Amino acid sequence: MVTVEEAKSILMNSIPAPGIARQSVISSLGFVLAEDVISKYAIPLFSQSAVDGFAICMDLKDEPLLTFPVIGELKAGDPPIKRMKPNSAIRIFTGAPVPANTYCVVMQERTILRDGIVTIEEGFIKAGSNIRVKGNQLKKGDCGLQKGIVVSPAAIGFLCSIGCTEIKVYAKPRIGILTTGNELITAGKKLKPGQIYESNQATLSAALMQSGYSVELKLKAKDKKELVKDAVKKILSACDVLIISGGISVGKYDFVKDVLTGLSVKELFYKVSQKPGKPLFVGKKGKQLIFAVPGNPAAALVCFYQYVLPALNKLSGFPDQESSTQKLKSELMFSGKGDRSLFLKAIATQEKVRILDGQDSDNLQSFAKANALVYLPKDQLTISEGEIVDVFLFPEI
Ligand code: AMP
Ligand code: MG
C-alpha cells in the first residue's frame, strides 16, 4: 500500500508527454495551445474610427477652425479613401477606415451638422483622438497567443479576428469507461431483487464532460473474468486511457486486477492508504493509462478527482493546477478514525469550509451537495474548530 502523496507522485511522474494535434479554431475550446500563434495581420487591420462622428482634416498652416464642410461619408466596410482635402470633414461611422491625413475624429455628440457644414464644440479637436491606429494592438508577425494558454471563448474570437482557422494544440486522450458488476441496472429499467441502479458510468462521464473530455467508448461487464477481459481488450484497442469501475477489491468476483495483469498492464500502484478509495489500481501499458477505481460511488468519484483528472490534465498539456487547492478554516471540529488519510465531502466558501455528514464511501447524496473535498493526512485526522485544512475545490459547472 502506498500513501496518497506517494501515489500522486508515482502517477504524475508516469504521464507520457502530450501528443500534438491540429484543431480547427472554432472547435478548440478547452484545448491547450502547443505552439505560439504568430499573427499574419496587424490588429487593428487598418486605422479606423472608434466612434460615430466626423473625421477632420486640418490645414495646420491655417488658424485652427471649428467649422468644416462635410465632403463625404464613410461607413464600416467601405474601402478606404487615401486622403481628404485639408480643412474639410467626412462623416464617419465606427469601424470605417480613416483617411491617412485625418487629424482626428470628433464624436457626433460634440458636433452640430447644418446645411453640409459641421461645427465642433470647442476643445474637442485633439490630434489622433478617436482613431484606432493600425497595429496598435498587435503588429503583423507578433505573437498573438503563447504556447500553453488554455483556449477560452475570447481566445477563439481573437484567433478568428487575426484570420486564423487552425491551430496546433495538445491532443486530448481518447477515454473508455468500463463498469463492472452483476447487480447494476441502468436507471429507467425495472429493478429485480438484489439489483441496484448504476451510477458510476453516469457520474464519471459527466465529470469528464465537465472538464472538457469526451468518452470514446462506454462498456459494461458482468462479473465474469472472460467478459471483463473482452471489454478491457476492446477499450485498450481504441483508447489512450481506460477507467474501470468496480471489481478491483479482494472479493471472489473481483477480476479486474487479474485481467489487467493477464493483459500485461504494468502496475504503478495498487491500494492507497486513503478513505474512501483504498483499492485503487493504476497501471500502464505502453503509453496507455489504466485506472481501476473502486465501485462504491463516492470512492469512485474521489479517485477520479484526485488521480484520474490531474493525470488527464497533464496528458493534455495543462499547466499544473495548484489553483484548485486552497487552505481554509474548518467551520467544525472533526475527529477521524483509522490509519488512512481522509478525503471528506465538504462545502467551501471564500473563508471557511464545512465538513458534511454522510462520509461513507457509498454516499453520493452528500457528494451531490458538496463543492469540495477536505484532505486530512493520516497523521492529522483530528482537527479543531477554526483549524486550517487543505481543500480541493471541484471544477465549476
Ligand atoms: P465493487 O468495487 O465492485 O466491490 O463494488 C463496491 C460497491 O459499489 C458495491 O456495493 C457495488 O454494488 C457498488 N457499485 C459498483 N459499481 C457500481 C456502479 N457502477 N454504480 C453504482 N454502484 C456501484
Ligand atoms: Mg463489483
Q: Which pairing describes strands 241-245 and 175-180: parallel, antiparallel, or unpaired?
A: parallel
Sign of the alpha-carbon dihedral angle for 64, 65, 71, 77:
positive
Region class of 130: left (phi > 0), else alpha (psi between -120 and 50), else beta: left
Ligand 2: centre distance to CA 251 (Å): 8
Q: What is the pLDDT of residue 397?
A: 67
Ligand 2: centre distance to CA 304 (Å): 18
Q: Which amino acid is at 385?
A: E
Same domain, 281 and 346: no
Half-sphere exposure of 203 (CA within 13 A, CB side): 25
Residues 6 or more apart in contact with residue 247 via CB below 8 angstroms: 180, 181, 223, 228, 253, 254, 255, 256, 292, 295
Q: What is the pLDDT of residue 59?
A: 84
Q: Count of domains in the chain?
A: 4
Residue among 221, 205, 215, 200 at smallest CA distance from 293: 200
Distances (CA, A) of 155 to 9, 37, 172, 205, 238: 32, 11, 18, 26, 31
Residues 6 or more apart in contact with residue 286 via CB below 8 angstroms: none
Shortest-distance Cα residue to atom 15 of ligand 1: 295
Full domain range(s) for residue 28:
20-43+137-170
CATH of the domain at 291: 3.40.980.10
Same domain, 344 and 384: yes
Q: DSSP E strands: which ranges in 81-133?
A: 88-92, 104-107, 111-114, 117-120, 131-132
Pick the last residue of a domain from 170, 195, 226: 170
Q: What is the pLDDT of residue 162?
A: 97
Question: What are 342's three cell numbers?
Answer: 481522509
For ligand 1, which residues put their CB under 6 angstroms from it? 179, 181, 183-184, 196, 198-201, 245-247, 249, 251, 254, 294-297
Pick the last residue of a domain from 278, 298, 315: 315
Distances (CA, A) of 108 to 52, 99, 331: 6, 18, 58
Q: What is the pLDDT of residue 276?
A: 98
CATH of the domain at 159: 3.90.105.10
User: Do the beta carbons of residue 276 and residue 344 sit within 8 Å?
Assistant: no
Q: What is the pLDDT of residue 322?
A: 62
pLDDT string in tens for the chain (397-residue length): 999 999 999 999 999 999 999 999 999 999 999 999 999 999 999 999 999 999 999 988 878 889 999 999 999 999 999 999 999 999 999 999 999 999 999 999 999 999 999 999 999 999 999 999 999 999 999 999 999 999 999 999 999 999 999 999 999 999 999 999 999 999 999 999 999 999 999 999 999 999 999 999 999 999 999 999 999 999 999 999 999 999 999 999 999 999 999 999 999 999 999 999 999 999 999 999 999 999 999 999 999 999 999 999 999 999 877 667 899 999 999 999 999 999 999 999 999 999 999 999 999 999 999 999 999 999 999 999 999 999 999 998 6
Q: What is the pLDDT of residue 323?
A: 63
Tell me how far apart the 2 most distant CA atoms of the chain are, in Å: 99
Question: What are 323's three cell numbers?
Answer: 489553483
Q: What is the pLDDT of residue 396?
A: 82
Same domain, 271 and 362: no
Q: What are the counts of helices (DSSP H) followed by strands (DSSP E) for the chain? A: 8, 28
Shortest-distance Cα residue to atom 19 of ligand 1: 200
Same domain, 163 and 181: no
Q: What is the pLDDT of residue 325?
A: 86
